[in-house]
Amino acid sequence: GMKKTYVIWILPQAAKKRDGYVNRINSKLENVSGSTIERLENYDKSEQIMIYLNKDHDIKDKYEDSDWIKTPLVIFLNNTYDLLIKKEVMKEYGFEEIEKEVKKMCNLGEMITRENIEKGHSMGLEQG
């Protein structure tokens, strides 16, 4: 009765050379001892998808495939774009505009930036 699960890893700060790559990792049966053969549906219960995005991706350059999801992800997970640009991308790619959530994502980026600045100051004071 177990259901198959999918884990999606979005790596928004991948190296430029990996920008736009998508990898899929799934299970493989290997008989270590004996010769029991299992049907694929008995053991293939998990799959991982890894999406590599570069935060410096120029949004004017469309990805060759799956641009409909990759460009919005680059925009939403990048704290250098402001609310207006994020709203424009949402409209261009046909996402329903939910301003509260978009503002929250913008604020999340600002919060992470503030936390890292404070952490850097603390480390500097400790070293000084």
| Model confidence at 110: pLDDT above 80 | no
Judge if 5 and 50 occupy the same domain: yes
Give the Cα separation of 98 and 2 in Å (integer). 35
The answer to whether the predicted template modeling score (pTM) of the entire model surpasses 0.75 is no
Percent of the chain with pLDDT over 90: 17
For residues 4 and 48, state if they share a domain: yes
Tell me the per-residue pLDDT of 69-100, one tens digit each, with 9 for 90 and over.
Answer: 898 888 888 777 777 888 888 888 888 766 66
**Would the pLDDT of 23 be above 90?**
yes
- Domain carrying residue 12: 1-57
Read off the pLDDT of residues 38-51 as tens digits, 9 standing for 90 and up.
Answer: 777 777 788 899 99
Tally of domains within the chain: 2
pLDDT (average), residues 100-124: 70
Inter-CA distances, 6 with 3, 27, 28, 37, 52, Å: 10, 12, 15, 24, 17
Cα of first residue to Cα of last residue in the chain, in angstroms, is 59
Position 127 in a domain: yes
Q: Residue 38 — φ and ψ, nearest 5°? A: -100, 145
pLDDT, tens digit (0-9, with 9 covering 90-100), for 25-38 = 987 777 788 877 77
**Mean local confidence (pLDDT), 50-70:** 89
Q: Is residue 72 part of a domain?
A: no
Averaged pLDDT of the chain: 81
